[in-house]
A and B are shown apart, each in its own frame.
With several copies, the nearest count.
Chain A
């Protein structure tokens, strides 16, 4: 079977979100998760720029530059939503009030370390935004990423080569090939896409 598409991956994450959860979706692929969450799941989305309980983009022509998510995309607020300042927003994130943060990843280590904010190259400008606050503060950190880099190397590794976003925080990894839990005893494959075997997607040693 083919690896999951990005939308299929996003849908898989959406299905896994607990009922009633407060969730922050990182920029990039994690933001695709929103459209796959069923209303019956009663999930509340948080955005670090100061927004709780919002939905997808407004109809064409109705976008408002004052109403955006953390990825600067126009969104709509839902009944029961609220606006607040960055201080209270980061209290929600750092204070453990979010149930799940779904983040993109460059690499995840077998011990749950996450790299997703900077390549470490001297001429690559850093850009952290709220990634470290989320990774350190949400109750569960789920990573949504391709299983392998474009040139075929595993992104789940023994040890991250890229600068870390946070240490030992990732609890679940959703890829185009598998769903993997990060447990104290190690990585546990919860699901695999049919036709793929674990030896094909087990952690690599990481970049030299």
Chain B
């Protein structure tokens, strides 16, 4: 059984490159992987496409990457909460693509599940996409949404990469973990294999490449 634990946030985000697509877990403040985001900020990589539900709220979340000029494109359902995101977008310096939240997560699942797409309920935001009527209802073809890296926050992790989450911090993380080439999870508790009841695993270790314990502060420059 492979050991997924890395010693530092820096190691957890190693390999993040200019132009990458990155998924960031979180809804509101719940589940935002602050340690991994800070490590990414220290890398200072540019031209990132970031896929997340919100564009951040200011401070140490995705907003910090946007303010640092690391992000060229945001794909999210609700950018309005991030003043930096809104300002840069209004200045034409940041592309923002808004998707219905259900479409956002469904497209991640398509990528993770090896589907070519989902035939999804037509919405106003899908106008221009290929559409068709099935059983009298209009649908559109939504394509998979993949990422080079997913950064997520778990609650308990074991060395194999099995994850559980805490309350509503779960949100997008389980789907993001299936949709990215490299998945790094920060966790509040790290246990040996067997420390999570196999019935309670939410994200099986097959989807997780790196686990870092919160408080592993070696990423600091």
A residues sitting closer than 8 Å to B (CB atoms) are 20, 22, 42, 44, 46-53, 64-68, 72, 77-88, 90-98, 123, 125-133, 136-137, 163-166
Closest-CB distance, B135 to chain A (whole angstroms)? 13
- Give 3 nearest A-B pairs by CB, closest first: A80-B193, A79-B194, A133-B102
Does the CB pair B114–A137 fall under 8 Å? Answer: yes
Point out the residues of chain B lying under 8 angstroms from A90, CB to CB.
101-102, 105-106, 113
Closest-CB distance, B204 to chain A (whole angstroms)? 4
- Max chain B Cβ within 10 angstroms of own Cβ: one of A66, A93, A137: A66
Query: CA A201 – CA B97 in complex, angstroms?
Result: 37
Does the CB pair A93–B168 fall under 8 Å? Answer: no
Does the CB pair A84–B201 fall under 8 Å? Answer: yes
Does the CB pair A85–B78 fall under 8 Å? Answer: no
Point out the residues of chain A lying under 8 angstroms from B102, CB to CB.
90, 93-94, 130, 132-133, 137
What sequence of 0s and 1s flags, for each residue 116-134 of chain B, a beta carbon within 8 Å of any chain A beta carbon? 0000111111000000000
Point out the residues of chain A lying under 8 angstroms from B217, CB to CB.
none
Could you jot down 9 A-B contacts, CB within 8 Å?
A42-B1, A50-B27, A66-B167, A82-B205, A86-B105, A87-B174, A98-B206, A128-B77, A130-B100
A82-B204, A86-B101, A133-B103 known; A68+B178 contact, CB < 8 A = no
Query: CA A51 – CA B109 in complex, angstroms?
Result: 19
Point out the residues of chain A lying under 8 angstroms from B206, CB to CB.
22, 44, 46, 52, 92, 97-98
Contact of A84 among B2, B98, B113, B204 (CB under 8 A): B204
Residue of A nearest to B126 (CB): A132
Query: CA A65 – CA B153 in complex, angstroms?
Result: 13
Residue of B nearest to A165 (CB): B124
CB of B60 closer than 8 Å to a CB of A: no
Point out the residues of chain A lying under 8 angstroms from B171, CB to CB.
49-50, 85-86
Contact of B100 among A22, A42, A95, A133 (CB under 8 A): A133
A82-B162, A130-B77 known; A68+B168 contact, CB < 8 A = yes
Contact of B105 among A77, A87, A126, A127 (CB under 8 A): A87
Chain B interface size band reads 35 or more
CB of B16 closer than 8 Å to a CB of A: no
Does the CB pair B101–A137 fall under 8 Å? Answer: no
Point out the residues of chain B lying under 8 angstroms from A44, CB to CB.
1-2, 160, 205-206
Closest-CB distance, A115 to chain B (whole angstroms)? 9
A80-B194, A90-B106, A91-B114 known; A85+B204 contact, CB < 8 A = no
Does the CB pair A166–B205 fall under 8 Å? Answer: no
Query: CA A129 – CA B162 in complex, angstroms?
Result: 27
Does the CB pair A136–B123 fall under 8 Å? Answer: yes
A49-B168, A136-B121, A137-B121 known; A129+B175 contact, CB < 8 A = no
Does the CB pair A83–B170 fall under 8 Å? Answer: yes
Does the CB pair B112–A95 fall under 8 Å? Answer: yes
A22-B206, A94-B115, A164-B124 known; A68+B101 contact, CB < 8 A = no
Stretch of B28-36, B41-49, B64-72 at the chain-chain interface: B28-36
Point out the residues of chain B lying under 8 angstroms from A97, CB to CB.
178, 206-207
Point out the residues of chain B lying under 8 angstroms from A78, CB to CB.
1, 193
Does the CB pair B2–A83 fall under 8 Å? Answer: no
Query: CA A125 – CA B88 in complex, angstroms?
Result: 11
What sequence of 0s and 1s flags, for each residue 183-204 of chain B, a beta carbon within 8 Å of any chain A beta carbon? 0000000001110101101101
Point out the residues of chain B lying under 8 angstroms from A68, CB to CB.
27-30, 168
Residue of A nearest to B207 (CB): A97
Closest-CB distance, A27 to chain B (whole angstroms)? 10
Query: CA A5 – CA B165 in complex, angstroms?
Result: 40
Closest-CB distance, A187 to chain B (whole angstroms)? 22
Query: CA A125 – CA B95 in complex, angstroms?
Result: 11
Query: CA A46 – CA B168 in complex, angstroms?
Result: 12
